[in-house]
Structure 1
Amino acid sequence: MASARTRRPAAPAPADPTAATATGTQPAAWACALLALAVLLAYLPALHSGFIWDDDGHVTRADLQSFAGLFRIWFEVGATQQYYPLLHSAFWLEHLLWGAAPLGYHLANIALHATAACLFARVLLRLAVPGAWFAAVLFALHPVCVESVAWISEQKNTLSAIFYLLGVLAYLDFDHDRRRSSYAWAGLWFVGALLTKTVTATLPAALLVVLWWKRGRLDLRRDVGPLLPWFLCGAAAGLFTAHVERTLIGAQGADFALSFTARLLLAGRNFWFYLGKLVWPADLIFIYPRWSIHVSAPELWFSLLAALALLAALVWSSRRTRAPLAAALLFGGTLFPALGFVNVYPFLFSYVADHFQYLASLGVFALLAAALWSITTRWPATARRTLLAALPACLGVLTWRQCATYRDATTLYQTTIARNPDAWLAYQNLAVIYANEGRPADALPLVETVLRLHPDYPLAENSLGDDLARLGRFSEALPHLQRAVQLEPRYFQAFNNLGSVLLQLDRAADAVPAFESALRLQPAFPEAENNLGQALTRLDRAAQAIPHFQRALHLRPDFADAELNWGIAIMLTSGFAPARAHFERAVSLAPDNPQLAGTYARALLQAGQLADAAVQLETVVRLLPDNAEAHLDLARVLHRLGRTAEANYQFQTAARLSPALLPPAP
């Protein structure tokens, strides 16, 4: 930010050619177009990225994709991962436009970031800050912003920044003309920002800092009075978000229990960390090491005292120039929610994250750009142009390289583990990926590492139990799933997995209350509905099971397993004929599932439908050509149908694949 003096008018700002171009509409449009092109080039690798971590919690779920879902986004707390209805309305619209294709979301986030950078330049030009467009370029291309731009979930940052900056521009209009319409527009943009991300609640305080920087004092009636409703609105939004973080997301418990002294020390450490990453953006990591905060640690006290000393020095120097103190207040004030005084869920695994300072970095970029722009005015033209071009170019290259980390979730977590071997969350998330890819054996050592680094973590206990179950080691899986629900009684997925393991251990009576607990905690849970129906069927309560299969299919119409199990329950209560349509629909929903075809074949055999059973068994053989038992089952049915030559071929194939499967010849 430019210098301002208290006792006499500020000296004219150094000439800024970019500021001159902003006075005309067309040159400003060209500047924005060039900046957008630079952002696109720097973030090109991100366009090839997929979804990572909690992106599936932000990209609109199937049950929210209708207009009724849009209503729930606005009026049902808990319908989305966080209550940011304007953000999730944007995701809802994006899903309407391009569905679940990651490319569309990445393009949107890059466009939003470029727009925010242009608005940042507009604000600085309005404030007559030297090097306004240079500051915007630093913000646009700085690699610390990659986490906010390449991570789809962080569209909350890029979108809220646009509302935030539009609010600044509108309020500056109001400060100039005192028109109610300007104030109304400013308030509207502020509310939009709050409904996108609550960190923007710091906007009224930031505006007071800017007004103080401009005039050297604040008038209670003119400056503070109009912003009082904003402070109240921001405080209400902040308290509500803190409540949601604590009760719905889980930002509470022993991991968040810090004394006030510890939080002060953490704030000092965090302040210097974030400032250091802006000045020297080296060793950026998706999950940084989680520091141990001990009140007796001298380095923590040094960080806090150094921050206080810097503040004191800036206050003292503000008699000559207010810009450094204003930038520091903007930086620290906007960072305040992430400094450690408020519990946020990511503190569970790290006290810092690059995306926390996306908005806060603006004040530092403004100060650095103004300082470099002013200092270099005395340099030879060639040297000045070289520096002012080389710095953004270097940042753009670093951003390009950092984007590669976000290529896919596996790359992200592998890179994180390589740079931070104690990042237990990265091990956990990578283990989930391996399990979903059908590699539970590879996932096991990762989950064991999680429990070594972070004992009694319910998600890891659940993952370990699930991986063991996938490997058929049900007795070993059981205690881990029991431990998961003991550690987190609201963990509905763990209750469902616990019930599934109990079913595999032929303990259907014990499985029923586990599935009922899962559904009590999460009523819209089709898998648990289906599993509860299976447990009731095994307990000879098929009639009671049918409504659960119906509910599962209502929640998930393409749920082939639920359709099949519905058919089994009807067959047990009313015979095969009324059940057949359900079997047919199940195999049509999952034509490449050999288990479904095999189950349907057994039902057909039980009903005496040999020819139709042979068709289903042929499907099983086609899908499992190396399964000797499948060939043997088909051979027996073909033999009963009198298709001797085909039966002999299937018998021979079964014998070749598994000689021990067939009885020896007499």
Structure 2
Amino acid sequence: MARWLPGLLVTAVTLLAFLPSLQGEFLNWDDDENFLFNPHYRGLGWTQIRWMFTATHSGLYIPVTWLTLGLDSVLWGMDPRGYHLTSVLLHAINALLFYRVARRLLAAGFATPPHPALSPAGGEGIPAPPPPVGGREGSDPASSPRRVGTAGPSPRAGAGTATPSPPRGARTPTPSPLRGEGRGEGSGTIAWAAGVAALIFSVHPLRVESVAWVTERRDVVVGLFVLLTLAAYLRAWREGAAGRLHRGWYWIAVSCFALALLSKSIAVGLPVVLLALDLFPLRRAAARPGAPAQRLLGLAAEKLPFLALAAGISAVTLGILMNERLLASRESLDLGQRLALTGYGLAFYLWKSLVPWPLSPIYTLFHPVLPWSARYLIPAGAVTLLTVAVILARRRWPAGLVAWVSYVALLMPVLGLFHSGPQIAADRYTYLASLPLALLLGSGVAWCWQAGRAGALSPALARAVGAAAAALLIGLIALTTRQIAVWQDSVTLWRHAAWVEPASDIPVFYLGWALVEKRRLPEAREHWSRSLDRVPPDLRALRARFVTEIGVVEQRAGDHAEAARRFREALALDPAQAVAAIRLGLALSAQGAGAEAERAFAAALPLVIGPRPPIWELRAAIAEVPVTQPEARGRLAFALALRLQQRGALEEAGAQYRAGLSLLPRHAEAWNNLGVTYALRRRPDEALEAFLQALRIQPGYPEACQNARLAAQALGVTPAEIESCSPGHG
């Protein structure tokens, strides 16, 4: 029981700390887009699985994560409590897995190294005691007793060995009451230190965003498979011989890594982590023949399957981001600015790991990025000094360098070099990167406890370290509980975010939308009016957006005349406000002014295709256009679909084309465009049918002719509809 107690404690504490998140709702921070308005993931049938493995929803390719969410939909329907429960259980499993991984790595780190320079204490700290006579290195001294004070052979020694008597007056070491107090994996010290490391990871407030936000299920799923990869790799090392990895466990590790990448591509840096672990604490380079450079190359070559998988998913992810125009362009961020953001991110996450309050769902990236300003120079200087320090201390403290390299490698995909989104940083990005930092703190606790027992450190001080670790964990749990309460609902979340970052407009908009969604209309009206008052008169486009939102509140309240007045005011401030134009049509239609409403809808068509209005606001406004006005609603849906198609959001574009065609089924151009979205998503049968439908409506339609010929050739068929095409059409 004592052997399993730390792991059980880690799992139980993690579960208890995150149980309050089960009361959370689906949030208006991507949960609505991913779950409430997305029927494609609901189930585990062939249709849903095909969608999961072909969709790039929201610019992400995460089929394994979608499988877990599909299972949730089968088990829980649309009850958010079930989704939260799955996330909490996965996180608790990850905590237990990390405990096991940490226990192995700490045992390896504190084992007697082949060279003093590789000692965790640098050869100048606590000397590693010799292994028990006749025992295996790293075995439990309590289970391998030595006779003290006798000359002659020990009962457990080999022939010709003797156990010397201690000097006169010397104290015989008192055995520890803890079972397994050695330095191996079975050591009580190692086990409890690994438990501390696992809890520092699992109950840290930075984990809340990943666990309490259903959209970030991908973090706990990728964490599961990353930790399984590490566990399998360590087993391959343990079961291997002559410096080689066990082949079976090695390929299990590769397979788990592939599943991790299909859960979230942030895991691409793991091969670098494995190579760093080879050097310390596994010390695999020392066990291999050849020159140091040759050994390192051999270890790197061993990672080729991992690197190939990482390169493949990186190419896919970058392709999706560029295709959907989600990756920051070179014009918006040059190399110097990207490097500045990278340094800022590395320092920011380290600081938040040490001081995790206040936390926010959004840390806004404010433009312009000035690399030579104090905001970016100070973090860059701190990161540079820390990097130089761990490099210089690598012989005395190799664990520090390995932890830092691992931290950087696991964060690199989400730092400024590959920037996307409105944020400069996000708590969720620390889920993997926090693992080496937590392990480093756990190793410090183990070192202090070992030093206290060896007499190199005051026993009182060693006990104080244990008390400090307990106090730290209690403090982290308290902050985590507080942060979970922030994520309970959208209104609470965005009130908190607006408090953390009052200069950002993003929490202002999301808070207003959340108040409207909750039908708290007086609060929403006051919120938008207060926000409008603080906008300078020269920022006409921003003022127009706030005025539009006030109009939406009046529309929800049933005052369509006041809503129409507000929408006209918004269009006077910014004629490109597509949402205001559509909602003006809605307000006029509700007042019975059908002709004016049709003109407003027609005026909105070219605005929808423009780059400015948010997609979800457009979709919500278009969805409110009554089906009794099919021409207006259908054409607005086609316009939104075209904009989505131009952005590379092919799946959502297809949905809008189908919605429009359900109202205007004789629209040949829309059928052709729908076929293009299918073709680009590698669904040739559906693409050909859409092209043929366009030709049935408009025989000889040039674009449809060309597209239908290409699709038919790919499928090896010759449909009769193509006969209407002239030889020059395709």
Matching residue's letter, 1:107 = L
Aligned: 1:49 with 2:24: yes
2:55 equivalent among 77, 83, 86: 77
Mapping for residues 186-205 of structure 1, pairs under 5 Å: 186-205=253-272
For 2:3 and 2:74, locate their aligned partners in 1 and report how far apart those are by CA, in whole Å.
32
8 Å Cα contact 1:496-1:518 kept in structure 2: no
For 1:454 and 1:268, locate their aligned partners in 2 and report how far apart those are by CA, in whole Å.
32
Q: Report the equivalent of 1:87.
A: 65
1:448 equivalent among 527, 532, 537: 532
Q: CA deviation at 1:191?
A: 1.2
Aligned: 1:184 with 2:255: no
2:305 equivalent among 216, 219, 229: 229
Q: Report the equivalent of 2:353.
A: 278
Kindly tell me: are residues 39 and 483 of structure 1, through their superposed partners in 2, closer, same or farther at Cα, counting changes over 3 Å?
A: farther
Kindly tell me: are residues 295 and 519 of structure 1, through their superposed partners in 2, closer, same or farther at Cα, counting changes over 3 Å?
A: closer
8 Å Cα contact 1:167-1:185 kept in structure 2: yes
Mapping for residues 225-264 of structure 1, pairs under 5 Å: 225-248=301-324, 250-252=326-328, 257-264=332-339
8 Å Cα contact 1:144-1:354 kept in structure 2: yes
Kindly tell me: are residues 118 and 204 of structure 1, through their superposed partners in 2, closer, same or farther at Cα, counting changes over 3 Å?
A: same
8 Å Cα contact 2:564-2:584 kept in structure 1: no
Aligned: 1:437 with 2:518: yes
Q: CA deviation at 1:373?
A: 2.4
For 1:531 and 1:375, locate their aligned partners in 2 and report how far apart those are by CA, in whole Å.
68
Q: CA deviation at 1:361?
A: 0.8
2:9 equivalent among 28, 31, 34: 34
Number of equivalences: 513
Matching residue's letter, 1:86 = V
Kindly tell me: are residues 494 and 364 of structure 1, through their superposed partners in 2, closer, same or farther at Cα, counting changes over 3 Å?
A: farther
Kindly tell me: are residues 269 and 120 of structure 1, through their superposed partners in 2, closer, same or farther at Cα, counting changes over 3 Å?
A: same
Larger deviation: 298-307 or 165-174? 298-307
Matching residue's letter, 2:309 = C
8 Å Cα contact 1:170-1:183 kept in structure 2: yes
8 Å Cα contact 1:265-1:295 kept in structure 2: yes
For 1:455 and 1:88, locate their aligned partners in 2 and report how far apart those are by CA, in whole Å.
41
Q: Match of 1:360, SS?
A: helix
For 1:164 and 1:433, locate their aligned partners in 2 and report how far apart those are by CA, in whole Å.
35
Matching residue's letter, 1:154 = E
Matching residue's letter, 2:95 = A
Matching residue's letter, 2:503 = D
Q: Report the equivalent of 2:170.
A: none
Kindly tell me: are residues 424 and 537 of structure 1, through their superposed partners in 2, closer, same or farther at Cα, counting changes over 3 Å?
A: closer
Q: Deviations over 1:548-605 (max 9, x none)?
A: xxxxxxx99xx9xxx9x99xxxxxxxxxxxxxxxxxxxxxxxxxxxxxxxxxxxxxxx
Q: CA deviation at 1:344?
A: 2.1
Q: Report the equivalent of 2:564.
A: 474
1:511 equivalent among 576, 601, 605: 601
Q: Report the equivalent of 1:546.
A: none
Q: CA deviation at 1:330?
A: 0.8
Mapping for residues 551-590 of structure 1, pairs under 5 Å: none
Matching residue's letter, 2:261 = L
Q: Report the equivalent of 1:315.
A: 391
Q: CA deviation at 1:295?
A: 2.7
Aligned: 1:500 with 2:586: yes
Q: Report the equivalent of 1:366.
A: 439
Q: CA deviation at 1:463?
A: 4.2
Q: CA deviation at 1:436?
A: 2.3
For 1:484 and 1:220, locate their aligned partners in 2 and report how far apart those are by CA, in whole Å.
61
Q: Deviations over 1:493-522 (max 9, x none)?
A: 788646535755523155258579979999
Aligned: 1:108 with 2:86: yes
2:404 equivalent among 328, 334, 357: 328
Q: CA deviation at 1:41?
A: 2.2
Matching residue's letter, 2:430 = Q
Aligned: 1:355 with 2:333: no
Larger deviation: 237-246 or 355-364? 237-246
Q: CA deviation at 1:92?
A: 0.9
Aligned: 1:137 with 2:199: yes
8 Å Cα contact 2:328-2:418 kept in structure 1: no
Q: Deviations over 1:299-339 (max 9, x none)?
A: 53233133222212211111223111111111112111222
Matching residue's letter, 1:209 = A
Q: Match of 1:59, SS?
A: helix
For 2:95 and 2:487, locate their aligned partners in 1 and report how far apart those are by CA, in whole Å.
22
Q: CA deviation at 1:82?
A: 2.8
Larger deviation: 395-404 or 80-89? 80-89
For 1:518 and 1:201, locate their aligned partners in 2 and report how far apart those are by CA, in whole Å.
37
Aligned: 1:62 with 2:143: no
Q: Report the equivalent of 1:411.
A: 492
For 1:454 and 1:353, locate their aligned partners in 2 and report how far apart those are by CA, in whole Å.
28
Q: Report the equivalent of 1:572.
A: none
Q: CA deviation at 1:418?
A: 1.9
Structure 1 unaligned spans of 5+: 1-25, 542-554, 567-666
Q: CA deviation at 1:75?
A: 4.0
8 Å Cα contact 1:269-1:303 kept in structure 2: yes
Q: CA deviation at 1:220?
A: 4.9
Aligned: 1:173 with 2:235: yes
Matching residue's letter, 2:629 = A
2:414 equivalent among 338, 344, 367: 338
Q: Report the equivalent of 2:210.
A: 148
Q: Match of 1:358, SS?
A: helix
Q: Report the equivalent of 2:102.
A: 124
Kindly tell me: are residues 125 and 478 of structure 1, through their superposed partners in 2, closer, same or farther at Cα, counting changes over 3 Å?
A: same
Q: TM-score of the superposition, structure 1-length normalised?
A: 0.68
Q: CA deviation at 1:209?
A: 1.2
8 Å Cα contact 1:410-1:430 kept in structure 2: yes
Kindly tell me: are residues 78 and 445 of structure 1, through their superposed partners in 2, closer, same or farther at Cα, counting changes over 3 Å?
A: farther
Q: Deviations over 1:615-648 (max 9, x none)?
A: xxxxxxxxxxxxxxxxxxxxxxxxxxxxxxxxxx
Q: Deviations over 1:30-72 (max 9, x none)?
A: 4333222211222233222212221223337334424254134
For 2:248 and 2:23, locate their aligned partners in 1 and report how far apart those are by CA, in whole Å.
43
Q: CA deviation at 1:180?
A: 3.5
Matching residue's letter, 2:90 = L
Q: Match of 1:422, SS?
A: coil
For 1:528 and 1:330, locate their aligned partners in 2 and report how far apart those are by CA, in whole Å.
47
Matching residue's letter, 2:586 = S
8 Å Cα contact 1:464-1:480 kept in structure 2: no
Matching residue's letter, 2:529 = P
Q: Deviations over 1:458-495 (max 9, x none)?
A: 986864564465442224315747999948xxx8x788
For 1:203 and 1:46, locate their aligned partners in 2 and report how far apart those are by CA, in whole Å.
29
For 1:441 and 1:287, locate their aligned partners in 2 and report how far apart those are by CA, in whole Å.
24
Q: Match of 2:416, SS?
A: coil
RMSD: 3.9
Matching residue's letter, 1:45 = P
8 Å Cα contact 1:324-1:367 kept in structure 2: yes
8 Å Cα contact 1:484-1:494 kept in structure 2: no
